[in-house]
Chain A
Amino acid sequence: MMAQLRSELLKQRSSQTNLGLFAGMLGLVLLAVLLHGFGLPAGDLAKRNNQLMVFGRGEFLGALFAALLGAMSFTGEIRHGTIRPTFLVSPWRSRVVAAKVAASTLMGAGFGLVASALAAVVGAGVLGACGVDVQLDGGDYLLLVSGGTAASALWAAIGVGIGATLRDQVPTLIGISAWLLFVEGLFGGDLADVSRFAPGTLGMAISGQEPDTLLAPAVSLLLLALYALAAAAAGWLGTTRRDVA
């Protein structure tokens, strides 16, 4: 298993794909925090919840890009045909899926850590530039960064599961992006209560955003871990039971 994990980690490091994802994530975190910070009226920006939301863009984008990274760890192998040599040297597919989940979780955690920390640092700078006092304390920062790291790690595992289930890269990446960027945002009205249990919203809750309306971070972490487990199980089933073209 460790050999397979080392192999998967080298796959993740040895192409430009993840570097491109990482750079894209950093650029979007900067853009999102700057636009929110300078776009909101100073009065709104002074509210603690809004500051959590602005700083929480790091968690949100970290989770999104971690999910894409996880998904591409599988769909990329299908797209480029490398799944064949992968399964020829490691015909034990459960082991390959487990190694992909582990490697993507580690990389996803790294994405989340950097994105959350960057958003916090840049967010504090933007508030300072706008003359707004930061209402967040050390505990808030800790939760933003640790929660963002954990949420991104779990979303990377979810991405692997979705990628292994759908296999086709384009629908997988569009589906994940559409869900996080658009679909969960449509939950409102009578569905507002349900939306607290949606996986993207759970990620926000883990990092301490909207504490008055969302679930507690610990509960959210547990629920998102269950999502990750379910997605990985679906990916495992799809991988072990289907032929490779």
Chain B
Amino acid sequence: MRIRRGQDGAADPVVAVSSLTKRFGELTAVDGLSFALEAGTVTGFLGPNGAGKTTTLRLLLGLAEPTAGEALVFGRRYRELDQPARRVGAVLESNDFHPGRSGRDHLRVLALAAEIPQVRVEEVLELVELERAAGRRVKTYSLGMRQRLGLAAALLGDPELLILDEPANGLDPAGVHWLRTFLRGFAERGGTVLVSSHALAEIAQTVDQVVIIDRGRLVSSAALDELAGRGESLEEAYLELTAGGAG
């Protein structure tokens, strides 16, 4: 992992979301959202169903265009990055695979497009402990194995930023423990993680800070220590801020 700095030597915020708005016809999915993430942090991105989390991540990753505002990674729009796979790794869905393709070939396809050496495919397979199943078609994989394959794809370019949407879904307790340890280690080596999840107890053990949104708007951006200082657990703060989590 290589942490790059701007010309003045100061690092841009790894993620900078500013007045971000996305409308789908009459529906406003993201409404003037702003937040920023610094390097070396693990941030929980929380909110009820339909709060706009996944839409925000899609905007950040260039899969959708904002109606207004901007979402930048390393100071640029995602598609303006020179080698996006070497700076950002992302998993948005747990099932983004061709069922008839092997796990290894899924990774080889992505590595070829990103001009990443094929030896890295074997490295990430070993990292997520999928090397023995790599030759099997993905349709034979369990949900947990698919999650790990998605993470392997995100790690192909040895990125500085990981963006993960519900990465613990389908993982068994050992897998959840492995993921937590991995993400903490990733941040300790200078990496940055933005992880969306509904599993508050797990998030509370993994992240340094949380960004909570509701109905497309920011309702809180705080360090876990701040919440603890107010005598609130993450779950209590979340339920209070999101009006009981309705939605």
Residues of A whose CB lies within 8 Å of any CB of B are: 3-4, 6-7, 10-11, 14-17, 76, 80-82, 84-92, 243-244
Contact = CB atoms under 8 A, between A and B. Distances in A.
Contacts of A80: 96-99
Interface string B75-90: 0001101001100101
Contacts of A4: 113
A3 B112 contact: yes
B90 A10 contact: no
B153 to A, nearest CB: 6
A34 to B, nearest CB: 31
B125 to A, nearest CB: 16
Contact of B114 (A82, A84, A90): A90
Given A14-B101, A14-B102, A84-B63, A89 B114 contact: yes
B contact patch SS: loop
A3 B111 CA distance: 9
Contacts of B97: 80-82
B58 A244 contact: yes
Interface residues of B, number: 35
A10 B82 CA distance: 23
Contacts of B58: 243-244
Given A3-B112, A7-B109, A244-B58, A88 B90 contact: yes
Nearest to A20: B100
A81 B98 CA distance: 8
B93 interface: yes
Interface of B: 58, 61-65, 78-79, 81, 84-85, 88, 90, 92-93, 95-102, 105-106, 108-110, 112-115, 153, 156-157
Contacts of B79: 91-92
Contact of B105 (A10, A85, A88, A91): A10
Given A14-B102, A82-B97, A84-B92, A244 B63 contact: yes
B85 A89 contact: yes
A244 B98 CA distance: 17
B62 A86 contact: no
Given A16-B100, A80-B98, A243-B63, A3 B115 contact: yes
Given A4-B113, A88-B84, A243 B65 contact: yes
A81 B95 contact: yes
A16 B92 CA distance: 25
A125 B215 CA distance: 70
